[in-house]
Structure 1
């Protein structure tokens, strides 16, 4: 399936992409624990560069909507996991700094370690 972003909007394409994927998550089109397509496939679906897709995915991780498990994929976070994180009072600035490491796949990923554990334990 291909998605068309508004290339005339006065905002970056990655922001358009983030908003569209966030809407797909909120509407249930992308269900909790569902794996997102690979970044290269997302780039094709949205007609954007791989760099744009990586930036969008990074923002989705920072917002707590997805979590990336190196060598496994990027998964939609269950709403209760995201809500629990917010009720614990974890600030966005702290979440942004959590879980940065180099994987055996050779990519640096950041994300919430707790959400990653929940996804990993469920699969």
Structure 2
């Protein structure tokens, strides 16, 4: 089931989307090293604009959860930062 962006929440839509995608990465819904769905697909799935998706991906890059390869897309990193919990 897809988490939804809450239009009434205090957080910006791009922050909500970044948090949703981070949860999916950390839960394994997006496997390590796998390609994320494209910008247009994420935009449609979450009902947000492409700029919102881009800003969410910027946040995920800052959190070192994804890398973006020009003309190929965004990929989950091979090893999550802070994955050794304890």
Same fold, judged at TM 0.5 (above): yes
8 Å CA contact retained: 2:39, 2:54: yes
2:18 equivalent in structure 1: 18
List gaps (5 residues or longer) in structure 1: 84-123
Aligned to 2:75: 75
Secondary structure of the residue that 1:68 maps to in structure 2?
strand
Q: Distance in 2 between matches of 1:3 and 1:41?
A: 15
Which consecutive unaligned segments of at least 5 residues does structure 2 have?
Answer: none
* Alpha-carbon contact 1:61-1:67 (below 8 Å) kept: yes
Offset at residue 79 of structure 1 (A): 2.1
Greater helix share, structure number: 1
Q: Match for residue 35 of structure 2?
A: 35
4+ residue segments displaced more than 4 Å: none
| CA contact 2:60–2:66 (8 Å) conserved in 1 | yes
1:56-102 Cα deviation digits (max 9, x unpaired)? 0111011100000001111000225x45xxxxxxxxxxxxxxxxxxx
Alpha carbons 2:18, 2:60 under 8 Å: kept:
yes
Q: TM-score, normalised by structure 2?
A: 0.87
Aligned to 1:56: 56
Aligned counterparts, 1:98-109, within 5 A: none
Q: Max radius of gyration: which structure?
A: 1
